[in-house]
Amino acid sequence: MSIMPKRLFLMVLADILFIILSLIISFFVLDGTLSSALKYWWVFPLILAIRIGTFRNFKVYHWIWQYASVNELLSLIEAVALSSILTATALLVFGIILFPFRVLFIDALLCFALIGGMRLAIRYWKETHSLFSLTGDEKKVLIIGAGDAGEMIAREMLKLPQLGYNPIGFIDDDLTKKGEYIHSLPILGVAESMPSIIKENAIEEVIIAIPSATGKEIRRFVELCEKSEVTFRIVPGVFELIDGSVHVSQIRNVQIEDLLGREPVSVDLKEIAGYLADAVILVTGAGGSIGAEICRQVTMFQPKELILFGRGENSIFNIELELRKQYPFLEMKVMIGDIRDNSKVNYIFDKYHPTVVFHAAAHKHVALMEANPDEAILNNILGTKNLINAADHYGVKIFVNISTDKAVNPTSIMGASKRIIEMLLQAKAHAGNATKFVSVRFGNVLDSRGSVVPIFKQQILAGGPVTVTHPEVKRYFMTIPEAVQLVIQAGAMGCGGEIFILDMGEPVKIIDLAKDLIKLSGLEVGEDIEIKIIGLRPGEKLFEEILTPAEGTSATKHKKIFVAKPAASSYDKLSEEIATLLNLAEKRQLDQIKSKIMHLASSL
């Protein structure tokens, strides 16, 4: 007999015995003798058949009681109560009205107590058996955070000693928790007492188990761990957790995103679902960092259809594969093409009639666009104009353009092209259209293809040096999921013509970012890895801005999203200026392009 049938057989046999025992005891409690039990002996097979059948219907025998929770106990209560009601109903249907029905009430209580108690005993035995099966070779672990995440991590470590962890206790800055216990593990003190606690208990690893911790808080924990010369890791942040549960397998090394993280973003799920649910959604640049994340997040709102549009076949293939695996029933189309190809753009809009467009396709590398300004014009401006015209013609409801802080007072070709796009969208919206055209402006996103972080990581792996353009250069940073959540929220808020600006927090010195990455790699700045200052590249600024002086901002109902004051522009006049730019780009008159685009962007 295989393991599963044997376990199932023993469980059903135990239930039969407990059902019979509870019924016998119930009769005895009712009249103090077993005479009633003998009189109504035929009830025993009836209630046995109904209870076992009900348990089977409630899938009681499919549960793994080692991991039983309140939900399983509530389901067991429902199964016992329903089987008792069915038994009473059967007796009444057969006309047996003289049966002592109070027995069924007593029996239900006893049956739940016996059967539920047995299952809880199984769980208790498994947990204590695991606890006492530690070999002594497990790594001694200290958990920072005596909240839900810390409790989940500790529980899993205690249940599964084969994972190789021996949790010693918790650290928590809530002073009222000190001296209390979670799963028999003490809360030893606050973060500042970590060095002494680590030394006294010979701690080998520290787990930071606070998914909502800010970057400042995580940096403090990391510094204390480094001071104690102990290994440290972290549980996923709130953006990475899908269902709110945390598992040991998810614990990872601390990343730069953790140190720069800020308070969690809250979004109005009902408002977002209102325009994404059952919509046909087109994402341009769907294989890029931002485009792919938009695809991941919009699929959670059950769109009618998702269209992935991009020209990089490998990146598009990767996100398609990921989405098809995670959402096998999602209606999805993949279109390889270039937004500069007006015929292909119109073909897609005519064939699929998207109702929502997220436009993430763009050339974004500042230095490359300085060297190739014609490509910035043809891809960023012409491509976007093709999409705008198609969206207007085919009745798209919402068009969300991904912009950048480099569009503010642009000093680069890339930034200037993005500024012109913003104004083109505003002008189109003010011309009076059914489509709501909006732009969302934000700064750098960590680990995107254009971010400095992957470059620094490669340089560290190569042994250095890490190259920084200037010791005072600063940039705004967001995580990719955070930026996309706010982009999607902004799409729900737009009336047409807005430039939404995301709260980027405080700017970060790039040299500090480099130092943090070196330390997180377990290396020392200056000793293991050198930092080399190489000077600003063409088009780069020391500081990025998020507003022009004339714009100002107005608050929205979301505390992390602001809206710039609209600027008046004529769509036809702007189109004429753009036509001149396109003509220069097609003729590859690079010097004239630079002069023209910078003049046009600064005049808007």
Separation between Cα atoms, residue 403 and residue 551, nearest integer Å: 15
Nearest-CA neighbor of 321 among 287, 361, 348, 289? 287
Structure tokens at 359: 């436009």
What percentage of the chain has pLDDT greater than the value 90?
Answer: 27
What pLDDT score does 382 carry? 95
DSSP string, 196-260: HHHHHTT--EEEE--TT--HHHHHHHHHHHHHTT-EEEE---TTT-SSS---GGG-B---HHHHH
Question: Do strands 356-359 and 398-404 pair parallel, antiparallel, or not at all (unpaired)?
Answer: parallel
User: By mean pLDDT, which of 35-49, 240-254, 486-500 is the weakest?
Assistant: 240-254
Q: Of all residues in the chain, what percent are helix, strand and coil, respectively (each to 5)?
A: 50, 15, 35
What's the full length of the chain, in residues? 604
Confidence of residue 4 (pLDDT cuts 50, 70, 90): very low
CB 193 within 8 A of CB 132: no
Facing residues of 532 across strands? Answer: 467
Domain segments of the chain as ranges:
3-131, 139-254, 269-455+477-504+546-603
Structure tokens at 24: 């016998």
List, by residue number, the catalytic residues.
Answer: 406
* 505-538 pLDDT tens trace: 677 788 888 888 888 777 788 888 899 898 877 7
What pLDDT score does 560 carry? 67
Say whether pLDDT at 405 is over 80. yes
The CATH architecture that domain 139-254 belongs to is 3-Layer(aba) Sandwich (3.40)
What pLDDT score does 448 carry? 62
Structure tokens at 338: 């270039």
Top-confidence range, 36-50, 238-252, 470-484: 36-50
| Phi, psi of 414, deg, nearest 5 | -60, -50
Supply the pTM of this predicted model. Answer: 0.62
Structure tokens at 179: 């001296």
Residue type (1 letter), 108:
A
* 385-401 pLDDT tens trace: 999 999 999 999 999 99
What pLDDT score does 3 carry? 47
Options 3.40.50.720, 2.30.30.140, 3.40.220.10, 3.30.70.260; which CATH number does 269-455+477-504+546-603 get? 3.40.50.720
Helix H, strand E, coil C: the string for 244-311 is CCCCHHHCECCCHHHHHCCCCCCCCHHHHHHHHCCCEEEEECCCCHHHHHHHHHHHHHCCCEEEEEEC
Separation between Cα atoms, residue 198 and residue 203, nearest integer Å: 5
Say whether pLDDT at 245 is over 60. no
* 283-342 pLDDT tens trace: 999 999 899 999 999 998 889 999 999 998 999 999 999 999 989 989 999 999 999 999
* 110-157 pLDDT tens trace: 998 888 888 777 766 766 555 555 556 678 999 998 888 888 888 888
Residue tagged 């761990």 (tokens):
225
Separation between Cα atoms, residue 224 and residue 228, nearest integer Å: 6
Widest CA span of the chain, in angstroms?
Answer: 108
Question: Do strands 205-208 and 305-310 pair parallel, antiparallel, or not at all (unpaired)?
Answer: unpaired
Separation between Cα atoms, residue 101 and residue 58, nearest integer Å: 24
How much is the average pLDDT of 569-585?
A: 87
Average pLDDT over all residues of the chain:
83
Say whether pLDDT at 478 is over 80. no
Separation between Cα atoms, residue 345 and residue 337, nearest integer Å: 8
Nearest-CA neighbor of 172 among 158, 152, 193, 155? 193
Dump strand ranges (E) for 311-355.
Answer: 332-336
